[in-house]
Amino acid sequence: MLKTILSISGKPGLYKLVSQGKNMLIVESISSEKKRFPAYSHEKIISLGDIAMYTEEDEVPLKDVLNSIKEKENGELISLDVKKSTPDQLRAYLAEVLPNFDRDKVYPTDIKKLISWYNILITNGITDFETKEEEVKEEEKTAE
């Protein structure tokens, strides 16, 4: 599911991939207004499925971090106010869901973005953070 959810640098919020054109993508805002517009190849566009968080040992895919948050919050919104939180409060929150995150490479702005993305996804009913490819692999295993 996260493969089709995009973050576009310079634009607030998250977007769903609708279609592809020549040198552009057609995206739709995940929020309630559902505006569609083109996102061009010169913009920095990244799929949430391609993002990972740094830890002391390795990188953890964003889907695993989001699932940990969902488990901690019981599928509800995060009550932590990112605008009023101090960097220490943000790090303490992330330490609860990802205890071994790399404190040198993960900045407070990254944690704020993570929390806001999680809240946007939950608010708009997107609670399945697994990728379709993994679901297909699981179905193949059960078929055997």
Q: Which residue type, as a one-letter code, is found at position 5?
A: I
The strand ranges marked E within the chain are: 5-8, 15-21, 24-29, 36-40, 45-47, 52-54, 59-61
Q: Which two tokens stand for residue 109?
A: 């702005």
Task: Write b or e for each residue in 60-78: b if 16 or more Cβ atoms lie within 10 A of its Cβ, otherwise e.
Answer: bbbbebbbbbbeebeeeeb
Q: What's residue 133's pLDDT?
A: 52
Neighbour count for residue 144 (Cβ, 10 Å): 4
Q: Is the pLDDT of residue 141 over 60?
A: no
Lowest mean pLDDT among 31-35, 50-54, 77-81: 31-35
Q: What digits encode the pLDDT tens for the residues 37-48?
A: 999 988 999 999
CATH hierarchy code of domain 51-123: 1.10.10.1650
Give the residue extent of every domain in the chain.
2-48, 51-123
Chain mean position to CA 85: 20
Long-range contacts of 35-41 (CB under 8 A, 24+ apart): 39/6, 39/8, 39/15
Q: Which residue type, as a one-letter code, is found at position 85?
A: S
pLDDT band at residue 131 under the 50/70/90 scheme: low
Q: Is the pLDDT of residue 136 over 60?
A: no
DSSP state of 58: S
3-class DSSP assignment, residue 59? strand
The residue with greater pLDDT, 34 or 6, is: 6
Could you confirm whether domain 2-48 is CATH 2.30.30.730? yes
pLDDT band at residue 132 under the 50/70/90 scheme: low
pTM over 0.95: no
Q: Is the pLDDT of residue 140 over 80?
A: no
Q: What's residue 115's pLDDT?
A: 95
The residue with greater pLDDT, 139 or 24, is: 24
